[in-house]
Amino acid sequence: MFLKHKNTNGFTLIEILASIVLLTVIISMFLTMFPQMANMNNRTGDNLDAANVGKELLVIIKKNNYNNFSNNTNLAIKEKIHTISINKSNNDYLLLKDTYKSFFIEIKIYNSKVFPDNSTNQLYKVSIEVKKNEASPTPLTTTYGYIKGN
């Protein structure tokens, strides 16, 4: 007589199709995340570059010596080859606008002293806004600091 052997070592067609469908779903979920991650990395990279430019400009500004800002109408910040000249002055702050390392920057040096009674250490507040270009309404980053005046 014939003996029937039950061989269950292989995969059925339904198991193979189910595994292919599951792999397709999982891979499609991951493939949609990669372009989003690349876009996020580009935006984060611009913000990091802008923050580095702001910190670098703050260091450059701190290297300069300043007198009384209300009498100063010819302020220039010089580092290596680049020069940033004064754009506008009012009673509250000096506003300097220029491009630096492909970013548009606005530097505000405020006239009011942080410690008005202390004559030896006169600190002035500085804010540096770094924008992608001049038409950008919002800055990529804003850096704040203080500089010592004479």
Q: Are 150 and 123 in contact (CB under 8 A)?
A: no
The C-alpha angle 88, 90, 82, rounded to 5 degrees, equals 30
Q: pTM of the full predicted structure?
A: 0.65
Q: Which of 98, 94, 122 is nearest to 109 (CA)?
A: 94
Q: Please give the single-letter amino acid code of residue 91.
A: N
Instruction: For residues 21 and 125, give the distance between their C-alpha atoms in angstroms, rounded to a whole number.
Output: 61
Q: Please give the single-letter amino acid code of residue 60.
A: I
Q: pLDDT (tens digit, 9 = 90+) per residue, 47-78?
A: 999 999 999 989 888 877 665 554 444 455 55
Q: pLDDT (tens digit, 9 = 90+) per residue, 79-137?
A: 544 555 555 556 678 888 888 888 999 988 887 777 767 666 678 889 999 999 888 88
DSSP state of 2: P
Burial class (CB in 10 A: 0-12, 13-18, 19+), 116: exposed
